[in-house]
Structure 1
Amino acid sequence: MFLEGEVNWTLIFGITAVVGYALAAVALWFAVTHGARHASASDQLDIVQKVAESSDRRLFETMNAVPVAMVETDSTGKFVFANRAAHQLLGRRDAELLGLRFHSATWGITFPDGKPIPADLLPSARALRGQTVRGFQHLMMNAATRKKMLVSVTAMPIENERGQITGSIAAIVET
């Protein structure tokens, strides 16, 4: 058998120690090289996040500087974004506006002759069906001042990378 008779325990313990040190050295090398990769990836992720936040902030500032009322809806027609000009034109702040639907009766939307417009003919509804609408004119009411105004609306669908419509963007100008 293996351990019968004279055994050189010094040799066995020595070989075991050498193998243990070799395994420890490999583990230490692996930890150091992968730790550097982890730190590098973490640093790169931080940089990417800072660039994305900067881009988001710059886009938001640019959208708010545009003098045309810009509103974005989700796929159900609820407002998810409105720039500063839209707040002024529509007479509502973000807290009051976001979550409302574009065809809400509170807007008092009618054709220029005063006839009500069916919700499915409104530019945002058509954009949510994939159409691009340019220069659709209708009357609407500013919620704060209750003033009726003639506006021209251009609306387009927002699509994801697979071509599915995820919302709409509309530009509204008082004419």
Structure 2
Amino acid sequence: MMEQYKISDPRVLKAVSHPLRVRLLGLLRSDGPATASELGRKVGESSGSTSYHLRELFKFGFIEEDDDRRDGRERRWRARHDYTSWDAGELSATAEGREAVRIMHLRQGEFVGRVMGEFDPDGWSRDWVDVAGMSDHIVSLPPAGVREFNDRAAQLLRELAAKYAGDPEARQVSAWHGAVPRSTEEGS
């Protein structure tokens, strides 16, 4: 069972939506515990910058010190949760919350763009190249249908992760699903 951190305070959502913090938290979740220096090398930032942002993530409960340190000179950090969620409707009840949700949606889009841009088919097998990518579908659904889509997609991913656990060809993959309503002006 994946552990989640459910945000209900717009200040917490805004704090984690900083571009570098999103990347650091994602790296700690995907690659495991690391020091500020190790993370700095991965993201091309100084250890001072990554240290500051790690302390902010710690302050808001996203990460914690890792007890399994390599040496006593530098703190190792680990993510406290597998993923972060929030109730956009609840947070959007205030102007501050609407702004925090908007910023986080932008960060999510930037992340997807960065990950897709970093994928280079060179060096991957034909099987991986064939399945890598995205598609978009334009369908008409009510909010209940979008909620069902999200729930079923998440459940399917959990089932497939369990089914293929231990498969020698398995690799970490970034998988996304999402939906936003189109404005009436789009496509007109």
TM-score by length of 2: 0.20
Q: Which is greater in Rg?
A: 1
Larger relative contact order, structure 1 or 2 (CA cutoff 8 Å, min sep 6): 2
Report the structure, 1 or 2, having the larger strand content: 1
TM-score by length of 1: 0.22
Report the structure, 1 or 2, having the larger helix content: 2
